[in-house]
Amino acid sequence: MSSDQAVRPGEAEALALDQADPGWRELFDIPPVDSGYYPEIAHFAGNSLGLRPKATRVELLEDLDSWGEWGAEGHFDAKRPWVDYHSLLTGPAARLVGALPAETVVMNSLTVNLHLLMVSFYRPAADRFKIVIEDSAFPSDSYAVRSQAAFHGYSPDDAVVRLRPRAGEDVLRTEDVVAALDSEVALVLLGGVNYLTGELMDIPAITAAGHAAGAVVGWDLAHAAGNVPLSLHDWDVDFAAWCSYKYLNSGPGSLAGAFVHERHLDAGLPRFEGWWSTAAASRFEMAPESRPPVSADAWQISNPPIFSMSPVRTSLEIFDEVGIEVLRERSLRLTAYLEKSLAGITPTRPLTVITPTDPARRGAQLSLRIGGGLKPKELAKKLRFEFGVIADTREPDVLRLAPVPLYSLYHDCWRVVEALAEVVPETA
């Protein structure tokens, strides 16, 4: 907002909160608004694609220039040598998800990693073959588990158990998840934070219950990594995977992460292999058989794409510097402010928050169910082009708002609520 613009009703509180609790917005490139009252976008789609850190362009160009400067010798002589570039990401990624470095690797994309991990961890038998997911799982997870079941010769409709909330409710209850884990379940694979509702699952409780039932427990952390604190090692999670383009701000389609608990690293699990699956010390011996390390690196197949790893490394440095616990505290404050602000308009409009009201059961997201015959995509278009607010939608009736603690403002929260109040008519 420019200095000559009058402060609107309720706006002063948001501006004061931003002064007291500013976040780290200066580290990011904020898209401009091409027209309107405010010069910058209010970006609430960080749970879909995070904003670009300013350092990303500089450091990516450094890596790109190493190619021009060194040619093939850049594998060993570049400023950040390519041959072991992926190891620069291991420690920060491990710290972010509460893992040991040996349990963590950055590679591939999310669904590719899930498939590679299920090669090792989905080992169905005649009496134990089912896979438990949430009914509102992201489609790629649903497709992945159905294809895995079919690959092993099972009917996906019989093998895949889809958990639904109770009638009249929008989110799963932990006790209902636990009750579904019977002796036929081979694999539990749930989203740590549900992409649609923003519900944060009780990862340690469900993991323990899955193990008690004799199942393997894995987690899709696409909406949890960089959003909420995680302790994958201490929670005894068997495996996990996550992408890095949402809360991790590493760019569209950027590389993903994978976790394998240390107790499985030397367990002789079946695994697909390639050149990067063998230990670094033996990689250039060109031997016909792999000698995999006792680490998650053994799940790698191909040499890493350096120019895709570069933005991930830059982003992880920010998380290392700020700390996920600090981010979570600001996230709780920011999301609570958005929730309070929405409560001022939702009772008189066809807008219903379906995200849990308990802060401990949600991430940095509030999902709104849109009623009154309104189309979420049309609503999002109005928010964008009339008010400079970017939100995202999910069919058939959900608008998602993610106040990201690294760069979102309290003023952004005020803006989106003011915009919704203008574009969503009050009910009679």
Per residue in 281-293, pLDDT tens?
Answer: 888 899 999 999 9
pLDDT at 137: 95
Among residues 273, 307, 322, the one where a domain terminates is: 322
Query: CATH number for the domain including 22?
Result: 3.90.1150.10
Axis crossing angle, helix 306-322 with helix 324-343, rounded to the nearest 10? 80
Residue 9 confidence (pLDDT): 72
How far CA 259 is from CA of 28, 169, 230, 329, 409, in Å, comes to 28, 32, 12, 25, 32
19 in a domain, yes or no? yes
Contact 209, 201 (CB under 8 A): no
* 241 within domain boundaries: yes
- 106 and 249 co-located in one domain: yes
> How does pLDDT run along the chain (428 residues), one tens digit per residue?
444 466 677 899 999 999 999 999 999 999 999 766 788 999 999 999 999 999 999 999 999 999 999 999 999 999 999 999 999 999 999 999 999 999 999 999 999 999 999 999 999 999 999 999 999 999 999 999 999 999 999 999 999 999 999 999 999 999 999 999 999 999 999 999 999 999 999 999 999 999 999 999 999 999 999 999 999 999 999 999 999 999 999 999 999 999 999 999 999 999 999 999 999 988 889 999 999 999 999 999 999 999 999 999 999 999 999 999 999 999 999 999 999 999 999 999 999 999 999 999 999 999 999 999 999 999 999 999 999 999 999 999 999 999 999 999 999 999 999 999 999 999 86
Q: Is residue 79 part of a domain?
A: no
- The rounded Cα 314 to chain-centroid distance in angstroms is 17
Model pLDDT, residue 35: 62
Domain around 180: 85-322
**Residue 207: half-sphere exposure toward Cβ, Cα within 13 Å:** 20
Residue 68 covered by a domain = no
229 with 148, same domain: the answer is yes
- Residue 185 pairs in a beta bridge with 130
Q: Which amino acid is at 254?
A: S
**Which residues make beta-bridge pairs with 161?**
132
Domain count, the chain: 2
Domain membership flag for residue 246: yes
pLDDT value for 202: 98
Which among 322, 345, 377 is the end of a domain? 322
| Residue where a domain terminates, one of 291, 322, 353 | 322
| 108, 207: one domain | yes
Instruction: Give the C-alpha separation, 23 to 165, whole Å.
Output: 35
Element (H, E) at 370: strand 366-370
CA angle 303, 98, 49 (to 5 degrees): 65
Tell whether 233 and 336 lie within a shared domain: no
d(CA 253, CA 145): 21
Say yes or no: 215 and 108 in one domain: yes
pLDDT of residue 34: 76
Q: By three-state DSSP, how is residue 103 classified?
A: helix
Same domain, 346 and 363: yes
CATH number at residue 208: 3.40.640.10
Q: Which residues touch 392 (CB under 8 Å, ≥6 apart)?
A: 44, 45, 47, 48, 380, 399, 400
